[in-house]
Amino acid sequence: MKNNFLEVVIDDINVLCVSTLGVKGSVEAFRTLESKLPTLKSRKFYGVLIGNSDNGIYRACVASLPGENYLGVEKWVIPGGKYVKAKISDWEKHTYLIAQTFSSMATKFRVDDSRPSVEYYKSQKELLLLLPIS
C-alpha cells in the first residue's frame, strides 16, 4: 500500500458499452448506455479509458448479464490482471479528483499501458479507480 493505494488483482469483466472519444463525451455515453437498459437497479457500472483523456477511447460500461444484447451497445471485456486501487468518496461532488488520483497513482507505480484505466461506480457515493500496473 502506497498513499492509500492498494494493489489488487481482478478477473476479466464482461461488459456492454458505448464508446466515445475522450472523457469529455463520458456523460452522454452513460446516458446512451443507461437508456438501453430495462433497469439500472443492481447493475455494476464502469468507465474505461484506453489512451489519454483528450483523444483516447472512453467506454461507458455495464457488467453484462447472461444473454444480454442491446442494439447500439457493443460487447467487450475489461481485462483482468494487476491494478492499483484508490477510492473517491462522494465522487459526484469531487469529479476533479479522478484525473488527479490517476496521475498520482501513475507516479508511484509502473503503469501497464496495454490495459485500460477503470472507474468502478460502486455506488452513488463511492467510486473506485483502478490503474493497470505491471
The length of the chain is: 134
pLDDT, one tens digit per residue, over 61-88 is 999 998 887 778 999 999 999 999 999 9
**Cβ neighbours of residue 112 under 8 Å, at least 6 residues apart?**
81, 82, 132, 133, 134
The domains of the chain, with CATH numbers, are 6-132 (3.20.80.10)
Q: Comparing C-alpha atoms, which of 95, 105, 92 is closest to residue 23?
A: 95
Which amino acid is present at 116? Answer: P
If one counts every other C-beta atom within 10 angstroms of the C-beta of residue 89, the result is 11
Three-state DSSP class for 79?
coil
Instruction: Give the mean pLDDT of 34-55.
Output: 92
pLDDT tens for 96-130 read 999 999 999 999 999 999 999 999 999 989 999 99
Contact, 38 vs 73, CB < 8 A?
Answer: no
* Mean pLDDT calculated for residue range 1-16: 87
Mean pLDDT (the chain) is 93
Q: Residue 70 has what pLDDT?
A: 79
Rounded Cα gap, residues 9 and 30, in angstroms: 26
Give the pLDDT of residue 2. Answer: 47
